[in-house]
Structure 1
Amino acid sequence: MTTATTRHGDRRVSPVFLGIAAVTAVAGWAVWSGSAARPGIAVFLFVTAAWIVSLCLHEYAHARTALHSGDITVGAKGYLTLNPLKYTHALLSIVLPVVFLIMGGIGLPGGAVFIERGRIRGRWRHSVISAAGPLTNALFAAVCTAPFWLHALDGVPASFQYALAFLALLQVTAAILNLLPVPGLDGYGVIEPWLSHRVKRQVAPFAPFGLLLVFALLWQPSVNQWFFQLVHDILDGLGIGYDEQACGAALYRFWQGTPLGCRVSP
C-alpha cells in the first residue's frame, strides 16, 4: 500500500549508482583476468567501488524498510534511487567511510538517511528499520565469503580471492560497528524504541558523538587488537584465513608494495 504512493521516478535506480556498479564490474573483471598492468590498482578500484555499492545498499535498506513501515516521504527524498548524493549527509555516508577505508582499512559506518519516525507505529518496526542496514552488510559479507565456505575456489585467481577476503573484512567490521548499542549508530536505534523516555532524553545529547567515541576507542591498541581479533575469528570461521585477509589489505594499499608471500598471478 505504501509503495503505491511513491512515484515511479522516485524508485528508478540512479545513473550515479549504475556508474559506480559499472566501475565495480570492470575493475572486478580486471582483477579476475589479470589484465591490469598493476594488480594492486585494479584491486583498489574494485574494493573501493564495491564498498561504495555496499554503503548505498545499506542506506537503501533503511529507506525501503521505512517505506513499508509507514514513512512514504523517503521516495520524494530520493533515498530509493540508490543515489549516494541524495543522502542527508553525503560526506558522512560516503566520503568519510571511503577516506577511513583508504587510511585504515576499516569499514567505518556512515551517516544515515533521514527517516520521519513520527509516521511509523510500533516499536518492532522502528527496530527493524535500524537493523536493516547492518544486516545488509552481513548479507554482503556472506556473498563475499561464499566461495570460501562453499569450497568453490577452483579456478578463482589468487588476486580476486584476496580482494574478496578484504572486502568481506570491511563488511564484517561495518556490521559489527553498526550494531554496537552506541548512540548515533544503528545498534542503538534497534534498542532505543524499548527504552524509557527518561533514558532516551538523557542519551540524546551524546548521539552526535557516538561515532567519534567508537573511533577513539579503536585507536586504543588493546581495543583495536580485540576488535580485529574478533573480525579475524569470524572470517576464519567462514573459511577465510588470516593470510588471505592480509594479502587483500596489502594489495589494496598498492602504493606500499606487495608482500613476497602474496601471489598475484592466477
Structure 2
Amino acid sequence: MGLLPLLQSDPLAFGLVVAILLLSLALHEWGHAITALWMGDSTAKEQGRVTLNPFKHLDLIGSAMILLVGFGWARPVPIYPPNFRYYRLGLFLVSIAGIVINLLIATALALVLRWMLASGYLENPSGFVLVLAQAAAVAASINLTLAVFNLLPIPPLDGSKIVQSFLPLRWHPYIWRLEANPTYAIVAMLLLLTVLRQPLSSFLSLVRTRFFDGFGL
C-alpha cells in the first residue's frame, strides 16, 4: 500500500501522513541512537544522529519505497557494538528499540481512532475529522508495517541483528562483513522488490488486518 493514491485522492491527508511518518522515522532512528548511547557506544552521537531531525535520518531509496509500496527504511544509525557495556544485551536492545517505537506509534494512533469511533465522530465524518481519521489510519498502518518489516531477519534490517544477538560470537564477524558488502545490499533489495514482494505484501496485509481488528476498527 503506497502513499501516491492518497496524494491523488486527498492531498491534505497525504500531507498529514507524510508529517507523521517523518516524525516516526526520526523517532525510530533516534531510538536506536539513544539506546546505543545508553549502552556505552557514542558513535551515533558523534555523527549527529541522536536527534529528532528527520532529514538526518532519511534514506532516499527507503523513503521512495514507503511512498511507492508502503514499506521501506531510513538511513541506518552507525553503531560499534564492541563499545557496548554488555555486547549481546546492547545489540538486542539497540536493534529492537526502533521497532518498539513504531509499534507504540501505531498503537497510539489506533487508540485515537478507537476513541473517535466510540465517541461517535466517525458515524458521519466530514471535513477535517474525515481527513484526520484517514491520516491516522494510514500512518498507523505504515508504522505497523515498518515495525514488522524491520523484524525480518535479513541484514541489514533490525531483525537480523536481533537474531544475531543470540547467535554464537564466532559467527558475528562474518555477519558484519556481509552487511558491509554493497553487493549484498543490492541483492537483498532486489529480492525484496521482486521475489519476496508478493508474499511479504500478503503477510503485511494480514498483520494489519489482525491489528486493526484487535482494536475493533
Same fold (TM over 0.5): yes
Judge which range, 225-234 or 201-210, deviates more: 201-210
Residue of 54, 58, 77 corresponding to 1:113:
77
Pairing 1:132–2:97 present: yes
Residue of 203, 208, 214 corresponding to 1:231:
208
Deviation of 1:198 after TM superposition, in Å, equals 4.2
What is aligned with 2:25? 55
Judge which range, 133-142 or 211-220, deviates more: 211-220
What is aligned with 2:121? 155
Residue of 173, 176, 197 corresponding to 2:145:
173
Deviation of 1:176 after TM superposition, in Å, equals 0.2
After superposition, give the CA deviation of every residue in 1:20-45 in whole Å (9 maximum; x if it has no partner).
xxxxxxxxxxxxxxxxxx97111111
Alignment partners' CA distance in 2, 1:165 and 1:41: 15
Residue of 46, 50, 63 corresponding to 1:80:
50
After superposition, give the CA deviation of every residue in 1:193-232 in whole Å (9 maximum; x if it has no partner).
2212443345445434344433334433x44323312222
Q: Contact between 1:54 and 1:137, CA under 8 Å: does it hold in 2?
A: yes
Pairing 1:69–2:29 present: no
Runs of 4+ residues deviating >6 angstroms: none
Larger radius of gyration: 1
Q: Contact between 2:63 and 2:74, CA under 8 Å: does it hold in 1?
A: no
After superposition, give the CA deviation of every residue in 1:4-28 in whole Å (9 maximum; x if it has no partner).
xxxxxxxxxxxxxxxxxxxxxxxxx
Q: Aligned with 1:75: secondary structure?
A: helix
Please tell me the root mean square deviation across aligned C-alpha atoms, in Å: 2.4
Q: Contact between 2:191 and 2:197, CA under 8 Å: does it hold in 1?
A: no
Q: How does 1:193-212 map to 2 (within 5 A)?
A: 193-204=165-176, 206-207=178-179, 208-209=184-185, 210-212=188-190
Aligned CA distance change for structure 1 residues 71 and 96 (closer, same or farther; 3 Å): same
Aligned CA distance change for structure 1 residues 170 and 191 (closer, same or farther; 3 Å): same
Aligned CA distance change for structure 1 residues 48 and 182 (closer, same or farther; 3 Å): same
Deviation of 1:163 after TM superposition, in Å, equals 1.4
Q: Contact between 2:150 and 2:157, CA under 8 Å: does it hold in 1?
A: yes
Alignment gaps of 5+ in structure 2? 1-7, 123-128
Alignment partners' CA distance in 2, 1:84 and 1:202: 31
Alignment gaps of 5+ in structure 1? 1-37, 241-266
Q: Which amino acid aligns with 1:238?
A: F
After superposition, give the CA deviation of every residue in 1:50-87 in whole Å (9 maximum; x if it has no partner).
11110000000001111111013433321122223434
Q: How does 1:11-26 map to 2 (within 5 A)?
A: none
Counting aligned pairs with the same residue, the percent is: 28
Pairing 1:183–2:149 present: no
Q: Which amino acid aligns with 1:75?
A: K
Q: Aligned with 1:126: secondary structure?
A: helix
Q: Contact between 1:134 and 1:178, CA under 8 Å: does it hold in 2?
A: yes
Q: TM-score, normalised by structure 2?
A: 0.79
Q: Contact between 1:39 and 1:159, CA under 8 Å: does it hold in 2?
A: no
